[in-house]
Amino acid sequence: MNRPPVVDSRTRISRRRLLRGMGATAVALTSPIWRPATAFGASAPGRAAKRFIGIFSANGTIPSAFFPSGTAQDSPLTFGRILAPLEAYKDKTLVLKGVHMISTIGPNKPGGPHMKGPGAMLTGGSLLPGSFSGAQGPAGWADRASVDFAIRERIGGTTTFKSLEFGVRTIGQEPLRCISYGGPSLPNLPVQDPWAMFTRMFANADLSSTQLKLLMAQRKSIIDFLKDDISHLKARISNSDKARLDAHLTGVAGLEQELNNAANSCTPPMMPAKIDPGALGNFATIGQLQTSLMVLAHSCNLTKVSTFMWSNADSWQFFPFCGVNEEHHGLSHSGDNDAVANEKLVKINVWHAEQVASLLDKLAAAPDVNGGTVLDNTLLLWGNELGVGNSHTYKDIPWVMVGGGGYFKTGRYLQYKDQPHNNLLVSVCNAMGMDDVKTFGIPELSTGPLPGLTA
């Protein structure tokens, strides 16, 4: 067996490259490599998004209720039943068909179909071999960095957190639970507990400015020690272990960034009394809480990049709050002609669209420190691990994009002929002002941005 391709040297966003970018951390934080999106490349000011939000939901869709009707390659948007809750944002929305997750397909690609999707959705890559077994086939984590990570490395250097990863009941085998990756085997697992996320976001909010100053001074001395300590240790250990220490050093840089940007302009909100974030019945409530925190993270400028997983891939969630008290994955395997089951699946997908609409409402109501509303400056990408649940197809993933800061010509339904989703990820990077990104994920799959998207 050949060694698996860890990262193709031709990949634009490889871990090696990112880590090199991170290497001289002290320099990085004071030198202008963290350019604001609008200053980078050729994008005209006002024609790029300044914030990115990636959304995941599970088990595919019901295409007939998701995709608008009609066969025109490029048509004005008319929502089907599933996306109807987004009606107020129709002018800002793009629905894409014919964009496939081809990077999950190929001989000897490890992992079952539900495992492959989340690993590929934002990376444009595949899963590594590994020992996460079970019915879904053995696999490891994804083999490269995801698009949210590429974006945060470009625009995330001035906020408290480079990125924040939210999730609701993301359980099960590891690769099912993660869409965000910093590199091969570098998962950024979502935080599922909103109270834990709140503690992260507002860690020092109860300190006086004197106390905060003291804490910052003390933490700085420890961070300086750690950087020094790691560099000395790195000189003594094997080459393969050095990569692990590089990841650790990146983490120390993250702590340093949190420290340097610790002053928080927002007053922490009151959190409700704690309930169990892992309980099946709390899914909707926890989801709303996490959504509110994510909006706050952006409006308080704690971060510019976030992802949100509505359950793990292969979701076994029940949806009594939309009248479907049945298990999602099981339902998703019903036959195409099972009208009763398909109606239930439509309801589940409508419910998810309602959650996205609720997020958009909040983003539209939140003023952005950059001016305008947070939504004005945000590109939201909503994807899924599969096209349809019962066939596990990687084709026609139900992609939705909202916003984009004026970079895309929105309000349209675009039907492509077999485009790799790698190209969609290139378009996402370009919309974030990263014009230099020409391929994303597995380079030989990626031919450039999706045609016909831009304004």
Partner 1 sequence: MEFLSGFARTPAVFLGCYALGLVSGCTGTIGGGNGQPTDTPNGQVVPGGIGSNGPNGLSSLPTAEACQKRAIEPGPAPMRLLTAQQYLNTIHDLVGDVPSLASVFAGVNGDSALGFVQADVGQVEMEAFQKAGDLVGNTVSADATTLSTLAPCAGADKRSCARTFVQTFGAKAYRAPITDSADIERHLLVFDAGATTSYEQGIGMMVSAMLQSPRFLYHVEIGTTDKVADDAVKLSGFEAAARLSYALWNTKPDDKLTAAAAAGMLSSKEGVAAQVQWMLADARGQTMVRRFLESWIHLSDVDALVKDKTLFPQWDGSTLKTSMVDQAHAFFDDILGAQGGRLASLLTSTTVFANKDLAPYYGAATASTNFQPVQPQGAVATSGLLTLPAFLSTLAKPDESSPIYRGKFVREQLLCQLLPPPPPIVPKAPEVQAGGSTRDRLKQHEVDSSCSVCHQLMDPIGFGFENYDALGQYRSTDNGQAVDASGEITAPSDIAGKFNGVVALGQKLAGSKAVQECMARQWFRFMQSRFEQEVDACSMTAIVDKFRANDNSLNSLPLALIQTDAFLYRRPLDSKVSP
Could you say which residues in the range 189-218 bind partner 1, by CB under 8 A? 189, 191, 193, 196, 200, 214, 217-218
Map residues 393-422 to x or -, x wherever contact with partner 1 holds by CB under 8 A: xx----------------------------
Q: Tell me which residue has tokens 């990262």.
A: 7
Cα 296 to Cα 284: distance, rounded to the nearest angstrom: 18
Nearer to partner 1, 73 or 393 (CB): 393
Interface positions, 145-174, toward partner 1 (CB under 8 A)? 161-162, 171-174
Nearer to partner 1, 135 or 340 (CB): 135
In degrees and rounded to multiples of 5, residue 168 shows phi and psi of -130, 120
Cα 80 to Cα 98: distance, rounded to the nearest angstrom: 17
The tokens for 79 are 């929502």
Nearer to partner 1, 40 or 316 (CB): 316
Interface positions, 363-392, toward partner 1 (CB under 8 A)? 390-392
Is the distance from CB of 396 to CB of 58 less than 8 angstroms?
Answer: no
**25 near partner 1, judged by CB under 8 A:** no
- One residue of 22, 207, 245, 322 binding partner 1 per CB under 8 A: 245
Angle at 189 between CA 134 and CA 31, to 5 degrees: 145
Nearer to partner 1, 300 or 360 (CB): 300
Sheet holding 378-384, edge to edge: 74-76, 412-420, 93-100, 399-403, 378-384, 51-57, 305-310, 164-168
Q: Which stretch binds partner 1 (CB under 8 A): 20-28, 69-77, 109-117, 440-448?
A: 109-117
Minimum distance between the CB of residue 236 and partner 1, rounded to whole angstroms? 6
**340 near partner 1, judged by CB under 8 A:** no
Q: Which stretch binds partner 1 (CB under 8 A): 71-79, 238-246, 291-299, 347-355?
A: 238-246
- The alpha-helical segments, DSSP class H, found in 318-382 are 328-332, 339-365
Cα 449 to Cα 431: distance, rounded to the nearest angstrom: 10
Minimum distance between the CB of residue 266 and partner 1, rounded to whole angstroms? 19
Is the distance from CB of 315 to CB of 59 less than 8 angstroms?
Answer: yes
**284 near partner 1, judged by CB under 8 A:** no
Interface positions, 292-321, toward partner 1 (CB under 8 A)? 314, 316, 318
Nearer to partner 1, 138 or 411 (CB): 138
Size of the site for partner 1 (CB under 8 A): 93
- One residue of 1, 42, 44, 340 binding partner 1 per CB under 8 A: 1
- One residue of 278, 367, 372, 451 binding partner 1 per CB under 8 A: 278
Is the distance from CB of 39 to CB of 432 less than 8 angstroms?
Answer: no
Minimum distance between the CB of residue 188 and partner 1, rounded to whole angstroms? 5
Interface positions, 36-65, toward partner 1 (CB under 8 A)? none
Which residues lie below 8 Å from residue 134, measured CB to CB, with a gap of 6+?
A: 112, 173
Minimum distance between the CB of residue 369 and partner 1, rounded to whole angstroms? 22
Long-range contacts of residues 345-350, Cβ cutoff 8 Å, at least 24 apart:
345/61, 345/62, 345/389, 346/62, 346/65, 346/81, 346/82, 347/319, 347/322, 347/323, 348/319, 348/322, 348/324, 349/57, 349/61, 349/62, 349/65, 349/66, 349/82, 350/81, 350/82, 350/84, 350/85, 350/322
**262 near partner 1, judged by CB under 8 A:** no
- Would you call 169 exposed, middle or buried from its count of C-beta atoms within 10 A (0-12, 13-18, 19+)? buried
Nearer to partner 1, 2 or 267 (CB): 2
